Amino acid sequence: MQGREITVNALKYDGSLRRHWTAGVVSQTDELTIAVGRFEFDVNHSDLGLIEQGTVSFEHFWKDRWYNIFRFHEPDGSLRNYYCNVAMPFALDGETLEFVDLDIDVVVWPDGRFEVLDRNDFEENSVKFDYPGDLIEKAESALIELLSLIDAGKLP
């Protein structure tokens, strides 16, 4: 239902909590949930730099895609960047949306520059957590799909 608040849990492959936050549901269909969150304080992110308090994140989660996409806007409303997570499709149970983050990320800047991040984390965790072969294939396919969307200028 639109307008309600949910808790978003990003999990590691073993089910442990990686991070969590609260977001408001903007729209929801059987296949896609779009939520919006707001940074309550400044965050220094190792890849994104300073994310100011008041930055807004529009978060797109698909049931049939192995990634999710966050569109960050500065407090003044201007586009800050996109942050794309290679991740398993989400599950929504009542007021909690959960997804397994598979480490590979892509940051896209307003001028179109992009960078693939954390491939080494994916490779290390694929050994640590013994990722099955089909999961590795789906993650790699998701990255190719994301890069194709970026190249075509079709991020949400």
Q: Among residues 19, 65, 113, 119, which one is catalytic?
A: 19
> Which helix H or strand E contains 45, and what residues bound it?
strand 43-45
Active site residue 19: yes
Under a CB-based contact definition with an 8 Å cutoff, are residues 68 and 85 in contact? yes
Beta carbons within 8 Å of 100's beta carbon, 6+ residues apart:
11, 12, 13, 87, 88
**Positive or negative torsion for Cα 71, 101, 93, 154:** positive
The catalytic residues are 19
